[in-house]
C-alpha cells in the first residue's frame, strides 16, 4: 500500500511539475509575443513618421 501511495504521489508531483512548466511556457510565449508586437508597432510608427517627413519635405520644396 505504501508503494502504491508513493507511486500516486510521484504521478501527482510529475503532473504538477508538467502543468507548472506548461504555464511558464505559456507566460513566456505571451511575454515574447507582446514584446514582438510592441517592437513591430514601434518600428511601423517610426517608418510612418519617416515617410511622413519625406512627404512633408517634398511638399515644402515644391512650394
pLDDT in the model for residue 62: 54
Q: pLDDT for 7-58, tens place per residue?
A: 999 999 999 999 999 999 999 999 999 999 999 999 999 998 888 877 777 6
The phi and psi torsions of 42 (rounded to 5 degrees) equal -65, -40
Q: What does pTM read for this prediction?
A: 0.64
pLDDT in the model for residue 55: 72
Location of C-alpha cell 510529475? 14
Checking if the pLDDT of 60 tops 70, the result is: no
Every domain of the chain and the residues it spans: 1-63
pLDDT in the model for residue 58: 67
Set of cell numbers at residue 41: 508597432
Amino acid at each position: 500500500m505504501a508503494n502504491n501511495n508513493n507511486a500516486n504521489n510521484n504521478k501527482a508531483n510529475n503532473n504538477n511539475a508538467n502543468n507548472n512548466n506548461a504555464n511558464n511556457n505559456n507566460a513566456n510565449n505571451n511575454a515574447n509575443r507582446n514584446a514582438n508586437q510592441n517592437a513591430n508597432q514601434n518600428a511601423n510608427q517610426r517608418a510612418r513618421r519617416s515617410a511622413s517627413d519625406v512627404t512633408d519635405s517634398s511638399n515644402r520644396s515644391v512650394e
